[in-house]
């Protein structure tokens, strides 16, 4: 069994806890292990905070999509800002990630099993996508429904 949901949120700080609560509720209802749920929620919070802070452009919204397919949860956050700068050769990515306020992407990488950072085709904003292998509680509703 699989589930999927998508939100379009205003680029306002108040949207970040809303996205987190919706993900928390979905994971708890599905029966995902509490530690995995917490890690997903922290990673989502970082991705949404980046979209709110850096996802400018003409649109005042960003999109969050989450899906569970089997034992994998995939989350994608897309904004309409300038996107990520092209990485020049060398250690720039490492030094940028450690700059003040630049730890969010590293945290997403650390909390997920696979993370991807790129730009929407045609220069339409940044795309942050990450996957997490799920662990289930004994009473997992999603497993019982399968």
What is the helix (H) or strand (E) element at residue 127, kind and residue range?
strand 126-133
Which residue do the tokens 């995995």 mark? 36
Q: pLDDT, tens digit, for every residue of 75-87?
A: 999 998 888 887 6
Q: pLDDT, tens digit, for every residue of 16-65?
A: 999 999 999 999 989 999 999 999 999 999 999 999 998 886 678 999 99
- The counts of H helices and E strands in the chain are 5, 5
Alpha carbons 29 and 19: distance in angstroms, whole number: 15
pTM here is 0.86
Reported confidence tier of residue 96, pLDDT bands at 50, 70, 90: very low
Q: pLDDT at position 57, please? A: 66
């Amino acid at each position: 069994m699989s589930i999927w949901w998508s939100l379009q949120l205003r680029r306002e700080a108040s949207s970040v806890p809303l996205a987190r609560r919706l993900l928390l509720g979905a994971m708890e209802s599905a029966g995902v292990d509490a530690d995995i749920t917490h890690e997903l929620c922290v990673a989502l919070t970082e991705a949404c905070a980046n979209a709110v802070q850096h996802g400018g452009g003409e649109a005042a919204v960003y999109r969050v999509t989450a899906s569970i397919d089997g034992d994998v949860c995939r989350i994608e956050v897309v904004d309409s800002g300038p996107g990520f700068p092209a990485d020049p050769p060398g250690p720039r990515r490492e030094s940028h990630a450690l700059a003040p306020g630049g730890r969010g992407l590293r945290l997403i990488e650390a909390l997920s099993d696979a993370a991807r950072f790129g730009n929407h085709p045609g220069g339409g904003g940044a795309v942050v996508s990450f996957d997490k292998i799920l662990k289930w509680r004994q009473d997992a509703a999603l497993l019982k429904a399968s």
